[in-house]
Copies of this chain bind each other. A is one copy, B any other.
Amino acid sequence: MSEQQQPPRRVTLKDVAKLAGVSHQTVSRAINDKGEIDPETRRRVLDAARELNYRPSRFARGLVSPGATTLGLIVSDVENPFFPELIAGVIEAAEERGWQVLISSTQNRDAREPELIRTLAAQADVVIGYLSAPDATLTAAAEGLPLVVLGRAVDEPAFGAVEVDTDVGVRAAIAHLVSRGHRAIGMIDCADDGTPDRRPAFHAAMAGHGLPVADDAISGGTLTVEGGETAFVRLRAARPDITAVFTFNDLMALGVYRAARRLGVRIPEDCAVIGFDGLPLGELIDPPLTSVYLDKRRMGAIAVTEAARLLSGEPAGRALLPVRLIVRGSA
């Protein structure tokens, strides 16, 4: 009676079978190029399939024989050049294992993390993410989904983690500035909400040299070129005596360049700059950007290894990604 439903029901093997006048099993044989089938029948079936615009259900197939492992990757901003390298590292490592990679991005809206995790949980076998939400929030969202957290310290023992050796990097940056005679050093930091915190490391490094850090020597902003730009303008207004800045990342350092040009501040003569990330584009600008380099491809590869551990039931690991200072022209 009610054959004509409103929601266009999916075309199945049986539909094709009916049209071709064979059993659904024969259709399966034809579709999958099994032998043991009359070439003529085969043709008829394939024609019917084409006519109905038949596409096999990946779910049904996956049910019968579990397909490739699918890895979910969550980043916070695909347009921050930091992430493409990380993504490349993950893709390559995943590929070596024959895994698929599902990518999503919060586009800098951290509040969306739990939602993205939940969505990926339905699609992926394991998730790697540059996540800023607190462990408890992530645990609730993950619901048993194996999770590898990138770029920050993690307490939850169930999570894998690849942390960055921020302390060492920041210390090297500050030591370098001090060795060049700087004493009034400012920081362009991320805005106060969330994100891995490089500020304590900055304080510690400065203290190590007996240098004070006044509150107004730190200026925050979004993790973008624009964020760095406005943060530097603000810093400069508050503390014109500062002769060097350490920025949260290279993108913000570029913002400092832009602001500096506008303000007539010369780099490095009037103000030295050190970034963090070591992006390739640091080499392209003038003067080339001195930066704390971290190997993002490697980070991705390590994360995939961690993911594999979790999937095989081994206890979660804590990897530490080393960093190193690359001295170029800006400091």
Contact = CB atoms under 8 A, between A and B. Distances in A.
Interface in A1-36: 10
Given A103-B101, A284-B285, A63 B63 contact: yes
A67 interface: yes
Contacts of A212: none
A10 to B, nearest CB: 7
Chain A interface helix/strand/loop/mixed: mixed
B91 A103 contact: yes
Contact of A78 (B88, B100, B145, B285): B88
A217 to B, nearest CB: 26
A137 interface: no
Contacts of A194: none
B78 A123 contact: no
A94 B73 CA distance: 16
A105 B122 contact: no
Contacts of A123: 58, 67-68, 70, 100
A83 B84 CA distance: 9
Given A54-B144, A68-B119, A91 B79 contact: no
A61 interface: yes
B103 A10 contact: no
B119 A100 contact: yes
A309 to B, nearest CB: 14
A254 interface: yes
A62 B67 CA distance: 14
B101 A104 contact: yes
A134 to B, nearest CB: 21
A105 B89 CA distance: 11
Interface in A45-71: 49-50, 53-55, 57-63, 66-68, 70
21 contacts: A55-B125, A57-B63, A58-B62, A59-B62, A59-B63, A68-B122, A68-B123, A79-B84, A79-B85, A81-B84, A87-B103, A91-B104, A91-B105, A95-B104, A100-B102, A100-B104, A100-B123, A103-B103, A281-B284, A284-B284, A285-B285
Interface of A: 10, 49-50, 53-55, 57-63, 66-68, 70, 78-79, 81, 83-85, 87-88, 91-92, 95, 100-105, 107, 119, 122-123, 125, 144-145, 254, 257, 281, 284-286, 313
